[in-house]
Amino acid sequence: MGQLSSIVRVALPIRHWSLFDYRCEPVIEIGTRVLVPFGRRKMVGIVIEHAEYSDLPLDRLRYIDTALDSIPALSASLVETLKWIARYYQQPIGDVISTALPKAVRRGRPLQPKFGVVYRLTEAGLEADTESLSRAPVQKAVFEVLKNVSEPLGPQAFEHAGRSWKGALKALETRGYVKTEPRFIEPELHEQQLIDDLMPQQAQARATILQSLDKHQCFLIQGVTGSGKTEVYLHVISKVLEAGGQALMLVPEIGLSPQLEQRVQHALGVAVTSYHSGLTDKQRHKSWWLALSGAAKVVIGTRSAVFLPFRNLKVIVLDEEHDTSFKQQERVRYHARSVALHRAAQEKFPIIFGTATPSLETVHAARAGRAQTLLLPERATRAPMPTVNLIDLGRDYSRDGLTVRLLDEIRNRIMAGEQSLIFINRRGFAPVVVCLTCQWTAICPNCDSRLIYHHSDNRLHCHLCMQRSALISQCPQCLSDQVQLLGVGTQRVEEVLQRAIPGARVMRIDRDTTQSYSEFERKLKRIQDGDVDILVGTQMLSKGHHFPNVTLVGILNVDQGFYSMDFRAMEHLVQQVLQVAGRAGRAEKPGEVYIQTMHPDSAYFDCIRQHDYLSFADLELMQRRKAVQPPFSRYVLLRSNSLKPGQEIEYLRQARSIARSIVQKQGNSQVRVFDIVQSPIQKISNRFRAQLLLGSVAYTPLKQFLDAWIPQLEKIPKKGKLRWNLDVDPVDFS
């Protein structure tokens, strides 16, 4: 056994589960980057813990080479949050650390990236007389540019002072008149422009949150699009800034738009720093450092911004709380909502969730008293909520997926000079087989489950017993040949619309046609300018944007939600429908929504028609409670994939039998091990995929089980190119 002296535990940015012990003299602060010997190499790591003893004998412990910085790269409380992520999500600490650090920082480059420079006058410069420079005209011109402003200026400000402006700046620096500073962030813009006249509920929400500014509390602002949620966030953030704090605003992947940045910038009068996957590594490093140095007052970012090392973070706003893009689906599979909540509790500041359609997890948490709900029931824009109409696909059918009635309504809008938006819910990947005459659906003879069409082999699959059968073209019940795969893609809808309404200007917005933010912004501009009659799109359209001239919203393919394997399919469906519905119309031109469905009598649609999300939540929570699904239990999904079919299943079989024996040995009756199934998307990039679900009502027994199970998973021999991953609180079951 080793003994006292300074031992530190270091996380290295590699896929490794444990920390590495090193000696150091004197002790190095937690969160500091260090250079350590590792095998024959040197590696950059982060000090995660201090220890008095090591399991290794002291003489085998190596010394840290050096601390790389004089300040920690991560605060001790952020390190705590990262450790929690590793524990809770069962991910290697090395991977978690890698996820939290910009590439340059991981690689040992300076914490502070290179910024451009700005020039300002020194004391001597401020006192100097312009005439003293009359014999150097360019220097004089440059000097005058600086004399006329109080802010430091970037190089482009001097370009008109004469061709040798660079040399002139150098000369003025030598004289001691001018000095340079790194350009961290654009200077303050102007005064705050917050809306003073908050509506009563907004004012109340604001007052309630402001009472808790210096402690941890979770708030849920529930209000439809346009109810003024963002305005409340801005008021709260403004108070946080006044007190010298920093604010983080987390937004969904595609919702991050220059529009929002500009609005925040104008409202608060400070520069906004952004952080998302559309930035280069270097830009991300800059934002990261601005957060660490305290120079960034407000950061707007997507999920990974939750790891930024703020110097004095005092509030997190998580907008569109229900959005699934907050869940990371690869490598470290964390949910930014849970991480943000944990971080806010750890660092003792309030967190605000905002949405029209909260996740059922959050509704449940609010009812249990873990979040305080603040309702904004009215639109600040005074636009009424749209009316919702159902089109019964059983009666009003058109072969191409668009009903005659919907097409007629679209034509009417075009004649009135208004726009239509056709939304296709792409969730629930696999189409189901339905007879359009008698509504028979293909069901597995062995199980009570609907057969699902798979592209890969052009056959119908049962996801419970894995039996496959041929695709059917005639209905066995009524012998009609109106048997269809329910499920139409955006591309097909675009074609159909163009054929059905010649001359209509159709624009498609989905991941295939719209890959960058700038492209998306350009398209939005064309919609605003009225260059488009019909918009066809996926969920990209349901987020963050308002289309005042859109007066019709058509929603296709909602029925997949009724058949999906994913227990959250219905929740996502209702959220999406209400979200898109809320995008349309304005006071003088209210919107109308048309939903095509085979199930017009479903109680879910009553809730949608009345814009009553909470009744839906009640209905659905009742189902979940009965089925013991989250939020009434916790799930863990073990996925595997391999190039050779069968190996993925074989791996899960072994994992499952180990799981069963652990459950038995621990006497752990709480943990339920489900059956192994092929994934709904059975093959991706030539890899065959399968999954094994586990569940438990309580967390502690599940954790106890996982702690025993995962080290064993590592030991199962991996045949061929098999890969596996573990997803705690999975969101994606495809």
Interacting residue ranges for Zn ion, rule: CB under 5 A: 435, 437-438, 440, 444, 446-447, 462, 464-465, 475, 477-478, 480
Query: CA–CA separation, 25 vs 27, rounded Å?
Result: 5
**Binding partner of residue 437 among ligand ADP, Zn ion, none, CB under 5 to 8 Å per kind?**
Zn ion
How far apart are CB 582 and ligand ADP at their closest, in Å? 8
What φ, ψ does residue 414 adopt, rounded to 5°?
A: -60, -40
Pick from 59, 127, 129, 197: which binds ligand ADP (CB under 6 A)?
Answer: 197
Residue 563 DSSP code: H
Query: CB under 5 to 8 A by kind: which of Zn ion, ligand ADP, none does 464 bind?
Result: Zn ion
Among the listed ranges 197-205, 421-429, 469-477, 689-697, the one in contact with ligand ADP (CB under 6 A) is 197-205
Residue 199 touches ligand ADP, criterion: CB under 6 A: yes
**Beta-sheet strand order (sheet of 66-67):** 20-23, 7-11, 41-51, 33-38, 66-67
Element spanning 374, H or E: strand 372-376
Among 228, 350, 537, 585, binds ligand ADP (CB under 6 A): 228
CB of 354 to ligand ADP, least distance (A): 7
Binding flags for ligand ADP, 381-420, as an x/- string (CB under 6 A): x---------------------------------------
Residue with Cβ nearer ligand ADP (380 or 692) = 380
Shortest gap between Cβ of 268 and ligand ADP (angstroms)? 14
Q: How far is CA 463 from CA 448, 653, 691, in A?
A: 10, 16, 11
Distance (Å, whole) CA 452 – CA 440: 14
SS3 of 638, please? strand
Nearer to ligand ADP, 13 or 255 (CB): 255
DSSP 293-341: HT--SEEEE-GGGGG---SSEEEEEEESTT-GGGB--SSS--BHHHHHH
Nearest CA to 550 out of 439, 425, 457, 413 is that of 413
Which residue's entry shows tokens 């934002």? Answer: 287
- The answer for residues whose C-beta is within 8 angstroms of residue 207's C-beta and 6 or more apart is none
Reference 604, options 565, 636, 569, 656; nearest CA is: 569
Shortest distance in whole angstroms from residue 196 CB to ligand ADP:
8
Which residues are registered as beta bridge partners of 721?
none
First CA to last CA distance, the chain: 48
Partner from ligand ADP, Zn ion, none binding residue 414, C-beta < 5-8 Å depending on class: none
Based on CB atoms, which residue is closest to ligand ADP, 225 or 425? 225
Quick one: three-class SS letters along 219-247? EEEEECCCCCHHHHHHHHHHHHHHCCCEE
Using the minimum distance from each CB to ligand ADP, give the nearer residue, 225 or 419.
225
Tell whether residue 226 is a contact of ligand ADP (CB under 6 A): yes
Which of ligand ADP, Zn ion, none has residue 537 at its interface (CB below 5 to 8 Å by kind)? none
Within 353-382, the residues that bind ligand ADP by CB under 6 A are 380-381
Query: Rounded to the nearest whole angstrom, what is the least distance from the CB of residue 209 to ligand ADP in the complex?
Result: 15
Decide if residue 229 touches ligand ADP (CB under 6 A). Answer: yes
> 């090395």: which residue's tokens?
94
Binder of residue 231, out of ligand ADP, Zn ion, none (CB less than 5 to 8 A by kind): ligand ADP
Partner whose binding site includes residue 380, from ligand ADP, Zn ion, none (CB under 5 to 8 Å by kind): ligand ADP
Instruction: Choose from Zn ion, ligand ADP, none: what does 189 bind? Cβ within 5-8 Å by kind.
Output: none
If one asks whether residue 227 binds ligand ADP (CB under 6 A), the answer comes out as yes
Q: Under rule CB under 6 A, how many of the chain's residues touch ligand ADP?
A: 15
Q: Residue 477 binds what, of ligand ADP, Zn ion, none (CB under 5 to 8 Å, by partner type)?
A: Zn ion
Q: Are 62 and 104 in contact (CB under 8 A)?
A: no
Answer with the entry of ligand ADP, Zn ion, none that 226 interacts with (C-beta below 5 to 8 A by kind): ligand ADP
548 DSSP 8-state letter: T
CB of 558 to ligand ADP, least distance (A): 23
Smallest distance, Zn ion to C-beta of residue 677, A: 10
Could you tell me if 556 and 423 are in contact, meaning their C-beta atoms sit under 8 angstroms apart? yes
Residues found in the chain: 734
Residue 280's φ and ψ, nearest 5 degrees, are -75, 165
Question: Which residues pair with residue 120 across a beta bridge?
Answer: 179
Contacted entry of ligand ADP, Zn ion, none for residue 435, CB cut-off 5 to 8 Å set by kind: Zn ion
Nearer to Zn ion, 435 or 690 (CB): 435
Pick 339 or 435: Cβ nearer Zn ion: 435
Residue 199, CB-side half-sphere exposure with 13 Å CA sphere: 17
Q: Does residue 96 contact residue 85 with C-beta atoms inside 8 Å?
A: yes
Q: Does 252 bind ligand ADP (CB under 6 A)?
A: no
Decide: is 202 part of the binding site for ligand ADP (CB under 6 A). yes
Give the ranges where 389-477 is alpha helix by DSSP (H). Answer: 404-415
Two tokens, residue 444: 């597995």
195 vs 622 by CB, closer to ligand ADP: 195
Q: List residues near ligand ADP by CB under 6 A.
A: 195, 197-199, 202, 223, 225-231, 380-381
